[in-house]
Amino acid sequence: MSSLAQKVWRTALRAQLNPKLLGEKSFWQRLSQVGNGAFWIVAGVTFFAGAAFCQQAAFQAQALLGDQSFIGPEYIVLAFKSFGPLVVALALMSKVGSAFAAELALMRQNQSLDALVLYKQNPGARWCAPMGLALTFGAVGLGLLSTVVWELAGMVVMYGFHGIMPQSFFRPDAISRELVLLCCIKNAAFGQSIYWVSLRSGLFVGHGTTATGFSPTQAMVRGVLLILFVNLFIDFVWLRLGF
């Protein structure tokens, strides 16, 4: 059992780098699962988290400095640099990562994974690896889309609570190529982190129904911690690089 899980684990990680091994259909199905399945939850979480941040920042700026003109350029940067990718990753972990861990744990319990190996179907490459790529590309796509949602939330809050027109709040000149690159790097790293954690929790599951139920919980806890520390590491490297 354990050697089978080890074998699938290794193949599932390596096969992501070898497109010949991956099933194209399986990749698109997984991408749809990530994109369609998580879009509304990611959009909702980003919108309300962004709205709360914007309102706090605008309130503090008005109370302390009497000036809200710098909120627009600072707020849009947060969507790309810091809180935007983090919020997307946490929502994606809850929605997609846990479901993937549960799916794998169930396949381990009912021995479908063993059957796939027996019939030389290579489940690591055909079943798991497409999810890894889908999570990476899906996280980048959702991360970029969520920046739009984040900015919309800011516009709504600034217009609704402070009467600032959206066209004066929207400051695309604050976004640089480096920021977009950072956003993509962070989201891709978070997507891979979610995949690694869910894969590990799903494959190395214990015996029985209870263990199947606990597998997504374990994936989520480890995932949240890993995302926080990966975020910290990337920010640290970015700061050291002088951007």
Residues forming the site for another protein (CB under 8 A): 41, 44-45, 47-49, 51-53, 55-56, 59-60, 82-83, 86-87, 90-91, 93-95, 97-99, 101-103, 105-106, 109, 161, 209-210, 212-217, 220-221, 223-225, 228-229, 231-232, 235-236, 239
Give the contacts of 18 (CB within 8 A, at least 6 positions apart).
125
Nearer to another protein by C-beta: 28 or 70?
70
CB of 212 to another protein, least distance (A): 4
CB of 159 to another protein, least distance (A): 14
Nearer to another protein by C-beta: 21 or 35?
35
Handedness of CA 113, 119, 124, 129 (dihedral sign): negative
- What is d(CA 106, CA 97) in angstroms, rounded to the nearest whole number? 14
CB of 209 to another protein, least distance (A): 5
Nearer to another protein by C-beta: 22 or 104?
104
CA distances from 208 to 3, 108, 111 (A): 19, 10, 12
CB of 76 to another protein, least distance (A): 14
CB 118 within 8 A of CB 47: no
| 233 phi/psi in degrees, rounded to 5 | -65, -45
Report the Cα–Cα distance between both ends of the chain, in Å, rounded: 47
Nearer to another protein by C-beta: 56 or 176?
56
CB of 195 to another protein, least distance (A): 15
Nearer to another protein by C-beta: 27 or 47?
47
- What is d(CA 167, CA 70) in angstroms, rounded to the nearest whole number? 14
